[in-house]
Amino acid sequence: AQSVSQHNHHVILSEAASLELGCNYSYGGTVNLFWYVQYPGQHLQLLLKYFSGDPLVKGIKGFEAEFIKSKFSFNLRKPSVQWSDTAEYFCAVNMRFGAGTRLTVKP
């Protein structure tokens, strides 16, 4: 069965800390990978996506993600978070979404 797992439900960081959010999937066919973000009171919006090519993809607002095929993973990273990164982050594989990770950044 297809599934997307986000292991961290709630992450709390201080400003300037580095961020890594995990995403693992179980899927037997071609995968197209996405990270979406939902800021408080706003719609879900795309952060970045991977279809093929360089497994390290860069998105908006300094986020990046690395596709590791052998580990079925697509982790999201940011070297230095800001208070404005406080949001919920969702990993998606094709049209299946994970449960989301809530990120709280303390000023």
Partner 1 sequence: KAGVTQTPRYLIKTRGQQVTLSCSPISGHRSVSWYQQTPGQGLQFLFEYFSETQRNKGNFPGRFSGRQFSNSRSEMNVSTLELGDSALYLCASSLAATASYNEQFFGPGTRLTVL
Q: Which residues bind partner 1 (CB under 8 A)?
A: 6, 9, 32, 34, 36, 43-46, 49, 51, 90, 92, 94-100
Q: Which is nearer to partner 1, 45 or 104 (CB)?
A: 45
Cβ proximity of 44 and 90 under 8 Å: yes
Distance CA 65, CA 48 (A): 8
Specify the length of the chain in residues. 107
In angstroms, give the least distance from the CB of 15 to partner 1.
Answer: 26
In angstroms, give the least distance from the CB of 4 to partner 1.
Answer: 8
Amino acid found at 15: E
Q: Which is nearer to partner 1, 34 or 63 (CB)?
A: 34
In angstroms, give the least distance from the CB of 96 to partner 1.
Answer: 6
Judging by DSSP bridges, how do beta strands 64-68 and 56-58 pair with one another?
A: antiparallel
Q: Which is nearer to partner 1, 45 or 80 (CB)?
A: 45
Distance CA 74, CA 104 (A): 21
